[in-house]
Amino acid sequence: MKKIVSIIILILSLSMSSQIPKEAFDLTNSLSKLIRNDSIDKAIESTIKLNVLYPPFLIDRMHNTVSQTVLREQGKGSFSNYINGLYAKNNDSINEIVSPLYLWSKSFQVTNKTDSNDLLETFYAKLNDSTNYSAKTELYGLLIIKELKKKQLGDIDLKEKIFKKIKNNLEKYTYLSTSANNRKDDEERAWSRFLLSYCYNDLYDKYSKRILDVSRNKEQVLDRSLNTNFPDNIEKEREEFIVNAARFSPDQTDTKHKNAYFYDAGLLFGNPDRAGYKNKYANYLNNKGDKRLAFNVLLHEAYTKPTDNNLKKLKKQYLELEEKQPLRTIWFNYINTQMRDVPDVQVQFESELLDLTKKHDYWIYIDVWGTWCSPCIKELPELDKVAETYNKDVNSNIKVYTFSYHSQNLGEFMSKNNYTFPVAEIDEKINKSFNVTGYPTKILISPNNKYLKIPFNVNWKQYLRNYINM
């Protein structure tokens, strides 16, 4: 699994605008080592200091590192001992962050009905009337239900009550259907939508099993993991569930903030890259015979995540249609309806002016980076090769440029590393015009003067190739 993805992005996004105490970095980086060495008391002491110095680092470390090890330990081991000891300190501000994680860790050790119900009652009391993103309360509630279901423990009605409360809380989030256009709220949006899609898919699977069992005339052995009175119009309800599971699956805004749910997907599925149900919805539609709508669903999924696999599924679905328009034309027209208008800016490079106030008959790729950004620096050798490949090919339909932001000794840096890609230092105004909030930021501009951002932590070369060469 990729390590500490979200904390890297958090550091990058904040590094230009605020001062984080150096000790906070030291405490964060040393925490896992202390726990692994069974220095639990020292780890707890460091945690209390970190909570005072910079709580966002504590929140990140708890939910994106400690939780993963608690899962591997199944509630036994040094990390679980650390959580138990930390919770026992009764530090209100820390327990506000860690109590749902603590209760989830206890679910691994529950072995009887009484203890499981006590755990569920305790957790239900932790649920507010809205989501708690800093504590990830709703995530750990779903994980507790999953663990107790596996053990066939816990009162069915109580688990249903918790599930419904979690789902209702997630549905209340303000920006479920629109972007907030600020990093903090868009991260919470991505997290809320991810969990909500999981809830709807869970309901879809339960209803699907109910229908299958009824069709086999085996109602006496139904898995009643939720004590639900299934409605007469069960098929209509089931369809609404898969529709909403697909609707709230990660969209273009969410994938830019994948760090918000990356580790949560690992906890729920065992695979951090498994998120979303659009392909499942497309399969449902194909089974109903609605191949056109299935194609539209796959088209949007391919736009959101243009992996080779998603493009392969889209092409296969296209062949099922009697469509006169070439797929390339459909693809180009669709993605341009989803992209944003390019800001009217002009950027002077050493040998040319990049004028984005005018349309071009080719695609434009822009990488925004800085000499202070270590993830940017790591990618530059590959970026240099990509720029050389595209920019020197007379038949290429794309040109590559880069924007440098707040770099030190840029010319010297380029010469020292023998980089030849076009680079221009930009100011804050241009940075803000593209709403750059992290580095590196990868911007793709279509010939129609529309643009999108390629998300962090994806195969950006594959995305780039598939966007422009469907």
3-state secondary structure 375-437: HHHHHHHHHHHHHHHHHCCCCCCEEEEEEECCCCCHHHHHHHHCCCCCEEECCHHHHHHCCCC
Sign of CA dihedral 279, 2, 253, 434: negative
Conformational region of residue 231, where left means phi above 0, alpha means psi within -120 to 50, and beta covers everything else: beta
What does the pLDDT look like over 429-460, one tens digit per residue? 999 999 898 899 999 999 999 999 998 888 99
What does the pLDDT look like over 97-151, one tens digit per residue? 999 999 999 999 999 999 999 999 999 999 999 999 999 999 999 999 999 999 9
pLDDT band at 220 (very low <50, low <70, confident <90, very high): very low
What does the pLDDT look like over 227-251, one tens digit per residue? 455 566 788 999 999 999 999 999 9
List, in sequence order, every beta strand (DSSP E) within 278-360: 340-341, 346-348, 353-355
For the whole prediction, is pTM greater than 0.95? no
